[in-house]
Amino acid sequence: MLIKKQWGKGMVAVALGLAMTGGGVYSIHGSVAKASTITHNAAGTAQGGSDHRQTVHVYKHHGFQLTVQDKSGDPKLRPTINQLVKLYFHKYPDILSYWAGDNDDTHIKNVKLIIDADYDGVAYTVWQDKEVTVGADYIASHPDDIAFLTHELTHMAQAYPTYDNNTVWLTEGIADYSRYLFGPNGTEWRLPEFSEDQHYYDSYRVTARFLLWIEQHGHEGFVKELNNRLQENTYTIQDFETLTGQTVEELWAEYAQNPEVETHYN
């Protein structure tokens, strides 16, 4: 998931947890959170009414930095958090060079990972703040799902200025396409087989598989081109036709006829 930040009075970040419903309509299920400055205090006491003591750890490696603020303070989460830290240093440099290319934002290699016991979703990213927030309950109950962080770090690399009804499905589709590319995919997470009730704008894995299909049917580099245009804020749905010679509907119709893709899960 991704959060779009809106600057307003007192720099309040408005969480727009946009999700697509079956009919192609977007609904808001997010909450409002204040953007606040958090002190890096290893012995800091928990904020936000939690009973646990939070911990803050800073990791550095090869020019990359990760600050982990564990607001849950739950020692049982340590092994999973360690896996997330490893993933960050193993995958993020590649994710960044693949999607961010010539991004000259000097802070992009300095990310904060917040483990939040009060957030009941999986994770969300505020790329403008270089922050990924992870639901403590989610990682407690899904210790084998590490690659959601690959999806979130892709949002960091995407840094698309716009996240609205025209782009959210594609933004999330590309993030899952990136998750497919970079993994680690284990044995659970898979791109779903095509089915008649899908639409290209279903987002996430459905869109990711469609993008992979386009790449494998004569348009290698297509997703990176879309990524460039989204970063430059020039993307429109017509770019499918500009880049492939076929409209998105035509591509989807062809995909529906012959939906086979070659997959390699890393």
Q: Which is nearer to Zn ion, 70 or 172 (CB)?
A: 172
**Residue 2 binds to Zn ion (criterion: CB under 5 A):** yes
What is the spatial distance between Cα 216 and Cα 180, in angstroms, rounded to a whole number? 14
Closer CB to Zn ion, 91 or 219, in the complex: 91
Q: Which CB sits closer to Zn ion, 1 or 170?
A: 1
In whole angstroms, the minimum distance from the beta carbon of 168 to Zn ion comes to: 9
Contact region for Zn ion (CB under 5 A) — 78-86, 115-123, 166-174, 236-244? 166-174
CB of 42: closest distance to Zn ion in angstroms? 30
Asked if residue 168 binds Zn ion (CB under 5 A), the reply is no
- Report, in Å, the least distance between residue 166 CB and Zn ion: 16
Q: List the structure tokens of 50.
A: 């939690």
Rg of the chain on CA atoms, in Å = 19
Q: Hey, which residues between 169 and 188 contact Zn ion (CB under 5 A)? A: 172, 175
Token digits for 12? 């309040």
* Residue nearer to Zn ion on the CB measure, 175 or 181: 175
244 neighbors 252 (Cβ within 8 angstroms): no
- Toward Zn ion, which CB reaches closer, 172 or 239? 172
- Interface with Zn ion: number of residues (CB under 5 A): 4
User: Which residues contribute to the site for Zn ion (CB under 5 A)?
Assistant: 1-2, 172, 175
